[in-house]
Amino acid sequence: MEKDPVCGMLVRSEEAAEQRTIRGRAYYFCSAACVARFDKAPQLYVPASADDMPGQPAQGPS
Ligand SMILES: [Zn+2]
């Protein structure tokens, strides 16, 4: 079972509505609504790695 990073629901990978691969890790989603939210702001759901964090956010909310 995989955890949908948006809603936290456990999803069977073979039954997932959608799947995304970010930095080589696969994420599975229970529904198109969840993957739509993920696509808008994947950084909210994918743990940041040290390599991708130069110390300052590239863009802040404005
Ligand atoms: Zn979901």
- Rounded to the nearest angstrom, the distance between the alpha carbon of 34 and the centre of ligand 1 is 5
Can you tell me which residue has the tokens 């599975």?
28
- Rounded to the nearest angstrom, the distance between the alpha carbon of 61 and the centre of ligand 1 is 25
pLDDT at position 49 over 80: no
Confidence at 53, pLDDT banded by 50, 70, 90: low
pLDDT at position 34 over 70: yes
- The confidence score (pLDDT) of residue 33 equals 97
- The confidence score (pLDDT) of residue 39 equals 96
pLDDT at position 48 over 80: no
pTM of the predicted protein model: 0.74
Residue 34's contacts (CB-CB under 8 Å, 6 or more residues apart) are: 4, 6, 7, 17, 18
Q: What phi, psi does 29 have (nearest 5°)?
A: -125, 145
- Rounded to the nearest angstrom, the distance between the alpha carbon of 33 and the centre of ligand 1 is 7
- Rounded to the nearest angstrom, the distance between the alpha carbon of 45 and the centre of ligand 1 is 12
Can you tell me which residue has the tokens 């198109």?
32
Give the Cα separation of 55 and 3 in Å (integer): 28
- The confidence score (pLDDT) of residue 11 equals 96
